[in-house]
Amino acid sequence: MSAAYRAARDVGVTMGHDDLLVYLARLPDGPVMVLEGVAALIWVEATTHPAAGWVGRVAEAVREPEERIVGDVKAFVQDLRERDLVEPVPSPGT
């Protein structure tokens, strides 16, 4: 099963210790963007774990009901998309 999102073309990603930090940069010239805390958690769940239920796993990790955070989580990912740092992984058969 694939992830919901992946790093966009020409974006380098380095994960810090225990996935608590994520460094993103458009290659070769940057700039570098650092995600930490919940932002790093969202990146990891959206890009490295199965697509099914990824927002729920973020909610569980931060001990909040999914319905309370889903808007903020999706807005954060939309911001990453608008910056061309992340793109959706196509569904099988599309």
What is the Cα–Cα distance from 35 to 72, expressed in whole angstroms?
A: 15
For tokens 């992340």, the residue is 86
Residue 90 lies in a domain: no
Q: How many helices (H) and strands (E) does the chain have?
A: 3, 5
Distances (CA, A) of 53 to 2, 4, 81, 84, 87: 12, 10, 20, 23, 18
Mind listing the pLDDT tens digit of every residue in the chain (94 residues)? 689 999 999 999 999 877 789 999 999 998 999 999 999 999 999 999 989 999 999 999 999 999 999 999 999 999 999 999 999 998 765 5
Residue 93 lies in a domain: no
Domain range holding 31?
5-84
Residue 33 lies in a domain: yes
Residue 25 lies in a domain: yes
Residue 58 lies in a domain: yes
Q: Report how many domains make up the chain.
A: 1
